[in-house]
Structure 1
Amino acid sequence: MLGSPDHRQRSMPPMKEQDHYIGVDRGALLLAQNNYSIDLSLGDFDSITDDEKKIIEKVSNKIISFEPEKDDTDAELSLVYATEIFEAKQIILYGWSGGRLDHLLSIIMIVLQPRFEGIIAKLSFVNQTNTVSFYLPGSYTLYKEQDKKYCSFIGLTALSNLTLDNSFKYTLDKESFEYPIALISNEFVMEKGTASFDKGLIAFIQSKD
């Protein structure tokens, strides 16, 4: 799934025959211009010219257009339709970090909406310098991305009994936080590590400068 990224953070999905590609608004044009076969293009297309829309139409199996004035963001609608049309095992959103802070926050806060609770474990965001994945309570083996130096645990809610083993530079042993908290700039000291917690929602970010 490709949104409309800032050109400095543009990251394109790998081309795989078994994957489905969804272009969201101007992200559909980027997919078309890079020779992707698009399964679904959607958005209000308010930043697209008529000629650009024709380019999208030529390579899209399905197009869904919305009015610019609507209750849901394009990203929210893309997740709704992605889950309705495709039985996805994984949903990766590229191009999620544009220039507007309000757009960025709306993307991150999608996972706090009850209607998307069922896809939290499937959802991740990718750009040039960050990978974001989301975790509900449980115990997880996390693998280091070789091109990323830092890893951060962002508590989007209160957290209970967060434990990070000695595979991380900074460890925790059943620490609880009664408020959302950003535990940033940790690092893997091994190729993989274990994190567990009993309550809350975590955004796990691997990043590089």
Structure 2
Amino acid sequence: MKQTRILLFAGGRLGDWAIRHIRADDWLVGVDRGALFLVRHDFAPRLAIGDFDSVTAEEMAEIERRSLHVSSCDPVMKDLTDTEMALTWALQQQPAEIVLLGVLGSRFDHTLANVHLLRKALRENVPCRIVDERNEIRLVDSHCTIERDHFTHVSLLPLTADVTGITLRGFLYPLENATLCIGDTLGISNVLTEESGTIDVATGLLLVMKSKD
């Protein structure tokens, strides 16, 4: 299972760009309305999960017909968001990587909660990132390498109160053993000057966000 990648499609912003991330051997999970997105693009989710309060009865029947397995719950009597339930299941499969799509949207509370879910994957040592058409977000607590691609900027924001020992190589604005605290904007809108750059962290949790306008 360690070679398998799991893609979670939630009910936030999705489009044709999301379909282009799918590889032939990926496991696809539809989260609430994200399951409808998959089946309507001729993909059969390995799992459709959620309370499905954002789909009609007819749409739910469509999801049930096309999904390999459906796990539904009460929309009120539950403690976890649909996305956290899906991520918990995905982590139990011990995959090589988890990619979250459709988890950024108009509800900022859900968007922020989904960014915080990256901590859950980090604790399990499973690489995990959030991707949409203009952003890629990951959480770092030690070291990561950033490759040059279609994203134009790389921004750093602390998720813990302080992140210490931040060292950047291959960036226009380098840092050497720096500290970022909650509220600091020093890490916003950096740019790669090499084909790849490295980010090292001594303590704390650092959000690394690639973006483009």
Q: TM-score, normalized by length of structure 1?
A: 0.89
Q: Cα deviations across residues 22-71 of structure 1 (Å, max 9, x unaligned)?
A: 00000000000001121000000001111111111122111000111111
Q: Which of the numbers 206, 209, 212 marks the counterpart of 1:208?
A: 212
The equivalent residue for 1:76 is: 84
Cα RMSD, aligned residues only: 2.0
The equivalent residue for 1:190 is: 194
Stretches of structure 1 that go unaligned for 5 or more consecutive residues are: none
Shift of 1:178: 4.6
Shift of 1:122: 1.1
Three-state SS of the structure 2 residue aligned to 1:16 is coil
Cα distance change on mapping 1:12 and 1:181 into 2, 3 Å: farther
Decide whether the 8 Å contact of 2:167 with 2:177 is kept in 1: yes
The equivalent residue for 1:134 is: 139
Establish whether residue 30 from structure 1 lines up as the match of residue 37 from structure 2. yes
The equivalent residue for 1:95 is: 102
Decide whether the 8 Å contact of 2:31 with 2:49 is kept in 1: yes
Three-state SS of the structure 2 residue aligned to 1:184 is coil
Decide whether the 8 Å contact of 1:159 with 1:180 is kept in 2: no
Establish whether residue 123 from structure 1 lines up as the match of residue 128 from structure 2. yes
Question: Aligned pairs, how many?
Answer: 203
Decide whether the 8 Å contact of 1:12 with 1:94 is kept in 2: no
Three-state SS of the structure 1 residue aligned to 2:136 is strand
Report % sequence identity: 29
Establish whether residue 41 from structure 1 lines up as the match of residue 86 from structure 2. no
Decide whether the 8 Å contact of 2:14 with 2:102 is kept in 1: no
The equivalent residue for 1:173 is: 176
Stretches of structure 2 that go unaligned for 5 or more consecutive residues are: 1-7
The equivalent residue for 1:21 is: 28
Decide whether the 8 Å contact of 2:29 with 2:46 is kept in 1: yes
Q: Which of the numbers 138, 141, 147 marks the counterpart of 1:143?
A: 147
